[in-house]
Structure formats: C-alpha cells, structure tokens
Chain A
Amino acid sequence: MTELRHRGTTENDLQHQQSEDKGSESEGKAEKDGASDSESKPDTGPPGVPVPADDTPEVLNKALSGLSSRWKNWWVRGILTLAMISFFFFIIYLGPMVLMLIVLCVQIKCFQEIIHIGYSVYHSYHLPWFRTLSWYFLLCVNYFFYGETVTDYFSNLVQREEPLRILSKYHRLISFAMYLTGFCMFVLSLVKKHYRLQFYMFGWTHVTLLIVVTQSHLIIHNLFEGMIWFIVPISCVICNDIMAYMFGFFFGRTPLIKLSPKKTWEGFIGGFFSTVVFGILLSYVMAGYSFFVCPVEFNSDRNSFEVDCEPSDLFQLQDYALPAALESLTGWPTLRLYPFQIHSISLSAFASLMGPFGGFFASGFKRAFKIKDFANTIPGHGGIMDRFDCQYLMATFVNVYIASFIRGPNPAKVVQQLLALRLDQQLHIFNSLKTHLTERGLLEEEMWEK
C-alpha cells in the first residue's frame, strides 16, 4: 500500500480550505512535488513527471463540499475503499471466468500505467513505433502464458478441436516467432539520435512485463487450484493494509523506515497480529464451501467452468491436540481446525512481513521518478498499481507455496506428456509404475504373464 500521504494529517491542508473544488487537490500535490525537490539535485537528468488532474467525480465532491479538506479526503478514500471491496465480492460471486477477465484487465491497466510513466520520464512520446512495440510485446507474452494455461487446464477441449491442437503443439515456436518479430522491428526502428532512449524504453518494457504479466499469470494458476487460493491471499494483503493503517492511526509513534515516513512499528506489528487472526477466521468461513475449495475445471461437455469435487484433506475438519500449556489456559483438550487454517497462518505472516517490502519498493520507485501516484484512476487512492503493489510478491509466494507444500504436479499435464511419448517409452514407464505401486501395496500381484 502506498504510504499515507500528508493529505489527511498535515496542517498545510487546512490552509487550502478556501477552495473546496478540484483545484485544492492539485495544489496539494504540487506542493508535495516541491517538497521532494530536495532530493532531486544529484539526479541529473529527466525532469519530474507532470501531475495529472484530479478526477474525483462531481457527485462526491458536491456531497462532501461542506467538510474540511482533511475529512473530505478521508471520506473519499473510505467510500472508494468500500466500493472496491464490494466490487471484489461481486465478481467472486460471478465465478472463475469473470475473475480471469478482471485479472487480465487489471494487468493491462497496470502495464499501461507503468509504461506511461516511462514515456513521461523520458519524453519519448515521439519515438517512432514505441507505443506499438510495447503493446505488441504485452500481447506476445500474454499469448505465450495464456496458451500454456489453456494447454494445461483445457486439454480435453484442445484435443478435440483441430486448429487448437496444432496451435498447442507448436505453441512455443509460434510464441517465439512472434517475439522475434517484435525484436526485429525494434532493431529496425533504431533511429540515430535516439538510441539510448529506445534502449531505455525497451528495458523498461521488459522489466514491466516481467513484474506485471508473469505474476498475473501466477494469480490465475492459483485460481485454478481453487478459488480459496485466490481470495484468501488477496484478502490478507488488503486486511494488512487496512489494519496497519488503523493501528498506525490510533497508536502510531515510532517510524518504521525512512523510505515511507508514515509507516510505524505499531502499525506494522498490530497489522501482523490482526492479519493472522483475520486469515484464520476467513479460512474457517470459506473452507466449508465446495465453491471455493475445489479446483476449477472446464467441463467440455457443457463448455463451462465448474467447481465440483470431493474436498481434499486440507479442507476437512481435523482434531488437533493442544500442547499442555495451552490446554490449561483455555480448558479445551483438542481443537477442531481445517488444516488449511494452519496454511493460512503462513500466508498471513508472509503478507504482513514481506508485503510491505513490495509497498516500499513502489514508494522508492515513485520517489525516484518524483511522482505522487502511478496514475489517477481511483479517486483518493491513485492508480491501479498503487493498490496492487503489495499483491505481486504475494501471488508468487502463494504459487511457490502451493507447488512446494500442497500439491505435486498437475496430473492432467503428466498424462498429456505421457501420451506424447513413444510407445516403448510408455511401456517402460508403465512397468516402473507397476513396480512402484506394487511395492507400496496399492496393487496386488496379478497374473500378468503366462
């Protein structure tokens, strides 16, 4: 989460009360830019990014026109927060397909925001081809990742349709060819006086793709594991944001890091404990429903997604014996928990401890390029990137966590690879598997050969 700007709390804002209209917002921001000028001296180079206009909807402005600036900002922020959270619940209700589309839209918007900052920083609007190339690379990388996802999870559908099957078989080659085309276009577009700018934008585009696109695809992979693996991590990060803010607001005293002067140790620690508690409660509530818990599968007969299965062991209530110390404290001999709740503790711990580093990284980035927010999409909050900067590390962590501790490889994918082997290799594997299963006692020795 971005640091809490001085908007809500400094005396300066009270001086701007004379104009309750849009002008005050941009004046406040301009002053912010002035304050950060002191660190601009050694940075020889690109000037600051021009501040975008404030686009709080008129209706909100009118409704709050009577209040002081400080509380007005607080209310705008609060209302938008509630709006975003309700929207989040709404799309969860709509199901996996809509969720994937939303993830795609958020990814495209984040990419656009970061690239836009690059353009502003380097004044590279007039560079030939560059916008086209950045969007082309985004398209290529998305094509590659979505193709891999479709091949993995929709294998039945892919095998049935002939054009899809060919696209899937040569997928890597096609993706690589598309990327190469973009690469060659870049080389051919190099113009004598603008080499360095063009290389900078090339690098900027690629780093943005690396951060934004790969991790949005990890989110989608998590989603296919079960919607709970999508909802709980995102909720934990949001909860950590809000709780850290609340604790900081009421109890905050000791600054946490020079980079974000509004963060405090009290907020950090309070946020940690409350996020863990919240995570445990949320997982308890969600683990009871198969809608959230089952892997998302594509039913090729009905051409729709469904979540219908026997919940795995993680989502079955189990009895845990409390250690003697806790027993005497609470008077309960055992505790009934879902194993998933224990996993949620690690997820919450990561969200509270590491998530803020993602926020500090984004704060440092904004200070480095002297911008206040990534964009102005959400009134009171800034751009989409401002809201999602902590989510990226979380998405990667959840994906790695699932792969390491929860499940093995995807069985459908293994079967697919198996079917692509030569027959003698298949036989060899079959025999090895038979030996393995017999050793484990899962197969009785049958009368195989006579």
Chain B
Amino acid sequence: MTELRMRGRGADPDSVSGNKEAAGEDRLGLAGGEGDGDRESNAGTPEVPPSTVDNTPQFLNKAVEGLNPRWKNWWIRGVLSLAMISGFFMVIYLGPIMLILVVMTIQIKCFQEIIDIGYRVYHSYELPWFRTLSWYFLICVNYFFYGETLAEYFGALVQREDSLQFLVRYHRFISFTLYLAGFCMFVLSLVKKHYRLQFYMFAWTHVTLLIVVTQSHLVIQNLFEGMIWFIVPISIVICNDIMAYLFGFFFGRTPLIKLSPKKTWEGFIGGFFGTLVCGFILAYLLAQFQYFVCPVEYNSETNRFTADCEPSDIFVMQKYTFPFAVQNILTWKTVNLYPYQIHSVVLSTFASLIGPFGGFFASGFKRAFQIKDFADTIPGHGGIMDRFDCQYLMATFTHVYIASFIRGPNPSKVLQQLLVLQPEQQLSIFNAMRDRLRDRGILPPAAM
C-alpha cells in the first residue's frame, strides 16, 4: 500500500477548503518538496510533471463540502475503500469467468499506467511506433499465457475443435513468431537521434510485462486451483493494509523505514497479528463452501465453469491436539480446525512481513521518478497500481506455495502430455505403470 500521504494528517487547516484545487495543490506542493533532495543525483532525465486534475465525482465533493480538508480526504478514501471492497464481493459472486475478466482488465490498466509514466519521464510521446509496439508486446505475452492456460484447463474443448487443436499444438511457435515480428519492428523503427530513448522504452516495456503480466497469470492459475486460493490471499493483503493503517493511526510512534516515513513499527506488528487473526477466521468461513474450495473446471457439456467436487483433505475438519503447555493455559485438549487454516497462517505471515516490501518498492519507484501516484483513476487512492503493488509478490508466493506443498502435477495435463508422446514411449510407460500398480495391489495381478 502506498504510504499514507500527508493529505489526511498534516494538511494545514487554514488552506483552501471545500473545492477541488485543494487536493491538486497538495499534490504539487508535496511533489516539489520531497523531490528536491534527489534531484542532484539524477543526471539529465527530467522529472515527471505531476498531474493536477482531481477526478473526485461531483456528488462526493458536495457531500463532504462542509468538512475540514483532513476529514474530507479521510471520508473520500473511506467511501472509495468500501466501494472497492463491495465491488470485490460482487465479482466473486458473479463467478470465475467474471473474475478472469476483471483480472485481465486490471492487468491492462496497470500496464497502461506504468507505460504512461515511462512516456512522461522520457518525453517519448513523439517516438514513432512506440505506443503501438508496447501494446503489441502486451498482446503477444497475453496470447502466450492465455494459450498455455486454455490448453491446460480446457483440454476437452480443445480436443473437439480442429482449429483449436492446431493452435494448441504449435502454440509456442506461433507466440514466438508474433514476438519476433514485434522485435523486428522495433529494430526497423530505430531512428537516428532517438536510439537511447527507444532502448529505454523497450526495456521499460519488458520489465513491466515481466512484473505485471506474468503475475496476473499466476493469479489466474491460483484461481483455477480453487476460488479460496484467490480470495484469501487478496483479502489478507487488503486486511494487512487496513490493520497496519489503523494500528499506526492509533498507536503509531516509531518510524519503520526512511523510505516511507508514515509507516511505523506499531502499525507493522499490530498489522501482523491482526492479519493472522483475520486470515484464520476468513479461512474458517470460506472452507465450508464447495463453491470456494473446489478446483474450477470447465464442463464441456454445459459449456460453463463448475466448482463441484469432493473437497480435498485440507478442507475437511480435523482434530488437532494441543501441546501440554498450551493445554494448561487454555484447558482445551483438542481443537477442530481445517488444515487450510494452518496454511492461511503461512499466507498471512508472508503478506504481513514481505508484502510491505512490495509497497516500499513502489514508494521508492515513485520517489525516484518524482510522482505522487501512479495515476488518478481512483479518487483518494491514486491509480490501480497503487492499490495492487503489494499483491504481486503475494500472487507469486501463493502459486509457488501451492506447487510445493499442496498439490502435485495436474492429472489432466499429465494425461495430455502422455497422449502426445510417441507410441513406443506410450507403450513402455503403460507397461511400467501396469507393473507398478500391480505391485501396489491396485490392479489385479497378471493372470499368468
């Protein structure tokens, strides 16, 4: 989460109140002030002119007109937070397809915000081809990732349609060709006086793709594992943001890191424990519903996504015995828990300890390029990237966690790979499997 700007806490009460300009001036003043310190070291690259348009909707402005600027900002921020959280719940209710579309939309918006900053930093609006190329690379990488996902999870659908089969079989080749076309266009578009700028934008685009696009696809893969693996990590990060802010607001005293002067140790530690508890409770609530717990599958007969299955072991309540020391304190011998709740403790710990580093990284980035927010999409909060900067590390961690501890390889994917092998290889694997299953007693022994 971005550091809490001075808007809500230190703004002068006697500054102009009740109109749009206050928020804009605040941003200008702040950007000028804190940026001065690192201007000397930046040889040459000019700063990004801060955006001054405040796009808070009129009705919100009218509603909070009479209040103090400090509380006005607090209220706008609060209202928008509630609006976003409600939006989140609604999208969950609408199901997996909507979630995938929303993830894709957010990814595109984040990409656009970061590329836009790159344009402003380098004044490269007039560079030939560059916008086209950036969006083209985004399409290529998305095509590659969505193709891999579709091939894995929609295996039955793909087998039916011939044209899809062709696309799947040569998917990597087609993706590579598309990417190469973009690469060649880049080389051909190099213009004599702008080489360095063009290379910078090329690198900027690629790093952005690496961060934003690959991780949004990890989010989608987590989603297919079960909606609970999508909801719980995101909620934990949001909860950590809010808890850390509240604890910091009420008890904050010792600064945490020079990079984000508004973060405090009290907020950090309070957020950690608050998040643990919230994650624990949330996991308990969600683990009971099949809708959240089952892997999302595409039913080719009804052409819909279904989440319908026998819940796996981690979502079945089990008895855990406390160690003696804890037993004496609590006088409970055992406790009924879902194993998933223990996994949620690990997820919460990561979100509280490492998640903030994602936020610090984004703060450092904004200070480096002397911008206040990534964009102005959400009034009171900034851009979409501002809200999602901590989520990225979390998505990768969840994915790696699932792959390492929860599930093995995906059976339908393994079957698919088997079917593509050479017949001799299939036969030898078949025989090896048969012997192995016979040894385990799953198959009846050979009638010999």
Partner-B contacts on A (CB < 8 A): 39, 41-46, 123, 169-170, 172-173, 176, 180, 183-184, 186-188, 190, 192-199, 203-204, 206-207, 210, 257-259, 354, 357, 360-361, 364-365, 367-369, 393, 396-397, 400-401, 403-405, 408-409, 411, 414-415, 417-423, 425-430, 432-434, 436-437, 440, 442-443, 447-450
Q: Are A393 and B180 in contact (CB under 8 A)?
A: yes
How distant is the Cα of A400 from the Cα of B403 in the complex, in angstroms? 25
In the complex, identify which listed stretch (B2-10, B323-331, B354-362, B374-382) lies at the interface while the others stay far away.
B354-362
Q: A176-B400, A437-B430 are in contact. Are A397 and B203 (CB under 8 A)?
A: no
Q: Are A429 and B207 in contact (CB under 8 A)?
A: no
Contacts of A192 in B (CB 8 A): 37-38, 258
Q: Are A357 and B187 in contact (CB under 8 A)?
A: yes
Q: Are A427 and B442 in contact (CB under 8 A)?
A: yes
Contacts of A422 in B (CB 8 A): 408
Q: Are A46 and B418 in contact (CB under 8 A)?
A: no
Specify which of A195, A367, A404, A419 lies most central, judged by the most chain B CB atoms within 10 Å of its CB.
A195
Q: Are A196 and B419 in contact (CB under 8 A)?
A: no
Q: A39-B195, A42-B194, A259-B187 are in contact. Are A183 and B361 (CB under 8 A)?
A: yes
Q: Select A196's contact among B45, B190, B207, B405, beta carbons within 8 Å.
A: B45
Contacts of A39 in B (CB 8 A): 192-193, 195
Contacts of A123 in B (CB 8 A): 43
Contacts of A354 in B (CB 8 A): 180, 184
Query: How far is the CB of A297 from the nearest CB of chain B, in Å?
Result: 15
Per-position contact with A for B422-448: 1 when CB-CB < 8 Å, else 0?
110111011011101100101110010
Chain B residue at minimal CB-CB distance from A257: B188
Q: Select B437's contact among A198, A408, A430, beta carbons within 8 Å.
A: A430
27 sample A-B contacts, Cβ–Cβ < 8 Å, listed by A number: A43-B193, A45-B44, A46-B44, A186-B361, A193-B38, A198-B364, A199-B364, A206-B207, A210-B210, A368-B196, A368-B199, A400-B172, A404-B170, A409-B420, A411-B421, A414-B418, A417-B417, A418-B418, A418-B433, A420-B408, A421-B409, A423-B442, A429-B415, A433-B415, A433-B429, A433-B433, A443-B430
Contacts of A434 in B (CB 8 A): 430
Q: Are B417 and A450 in contact (CB under 8 A)?
A: no
Q: Which residues 24-39 of B sit at the A interface, judged by CB distance below 8 A?
A: 37-38
Chain B residue at minimal CB-CB distance from A411: B425
Q: Are B361 and A43 in contact (CB under 8 A)?
A: no
Query: How far is the CB of B6 from the nearest CB of chain A, in Å?
Result: 18
Q: Which residues 180-216 of B sit at the A interface, judged by CB distance below 8 A?
A: 180, 183-184, 186-188, 190, 192-199, 203-204, 206-207, 210
Chain A residue at minimal CB-CB distance from B430: A433
Q: Are B434 and A369 in contact (CB under 8 A)?
A: no
Q: Are B417 and A409 in contact (CB under 8 A)?
A: yes
Q: Are B41 and A176 in contact (CB under 8 A)?
A: no
Q: Are B411 and A357 in contact (CB under 8 A)?
A: no
In the complex, identify which listed stretch (B90-98, B280-288, B365-373) lies at the interface while the others stay far away.
B365-373
Contacts of B414 in A (CB 8 A): 414, 417-418, 421, 429
Q: Are B190 and A43 in contact (CB under 8 A)?
A: no
> Quick check: is B42 within 8 A (CB to CB) of the other chain?
yes
Query: How far is the CB of A149 from the nearest CB of chain B, in Å?
Result: 18
Query: How far is the CB of B135 from the nearest CB of chain A, in Å?
Result: 19
Q: A367-B195, A430-B437 are in contact. Are A195 and B368 (CB under 8 A)?
A: yes
Q: Are A42 and B173 in contact (CB under 8 A)?
A: no
A-B complex: 9 closest residue pairs judged by Cβ atoms: A45-B44, A368-B195, A195-B368, A417-B409, A404-B173, A368-B196, A196-B368, A408-B420, A420-B408
> Quick check: is B169 within 8 A (CB to CB) of the other chain?
yes
Query: How far is the CB of B67 from the nearest CB of chain A, in Å?
Result: 35
Q: Are A187 and B361 in contact (CB under 8 A)?
A: yes
Specify which of B364, B404, B427 lies most central, judged by the most chain A CB atoms within 10 Å of its CB.
B364
Q: Select A207's contact among B193, B196, B206, beta carbons within 8 Å.
A: B206
> Quick check: is B14 within 8 A (CB to CB) of the other chain?
no
Q: Are B41 and A197 in contact (CB under 8 A)?
A: yes
How distant is the Cα of A207 from the Cα of B367 in the complex, in angstroms? 22
Chain A residue at minimal CB-CB distance from B195: A368
Query: How far is the CB of A112 from the nearest CB of chain B, in Å?
Result: 18
> Quick check: is B397 within 8 A (CB to CB) of the other chain?
yes
Q: Are B415 and A364 in contact (CB under 8 A)?
A: no
Q: Which residues 143-192 of B sit at the A interface, judged by CB distance below 8 A?
A: 169-170, 172-173, 176, 180, 183-184, 186-188, 190, 192
Query: How far is the CB of B448 from the nearest CB of chain A, in Å?
Result: 10
Q: Select B401's contact among A173, A199, A396, A403, beta carbons within 8 Å.
A: A173
Query: How far is the CB of A406 from the nearest CB of chain B, in Å?
Result: 11
Q: Select B409's contact among A184, A369, A420, A443, beta carbons within 8 Å.
A: A420
Contacts of B259 in A (CB 8 A): 187, 190
Q: Select A180's contact among B172, B393, B408, beta carbons within 8 Å.
A: B393
Query: How far is the CB of B54 from the nearest CB of chain A, in Å?
Result: 26
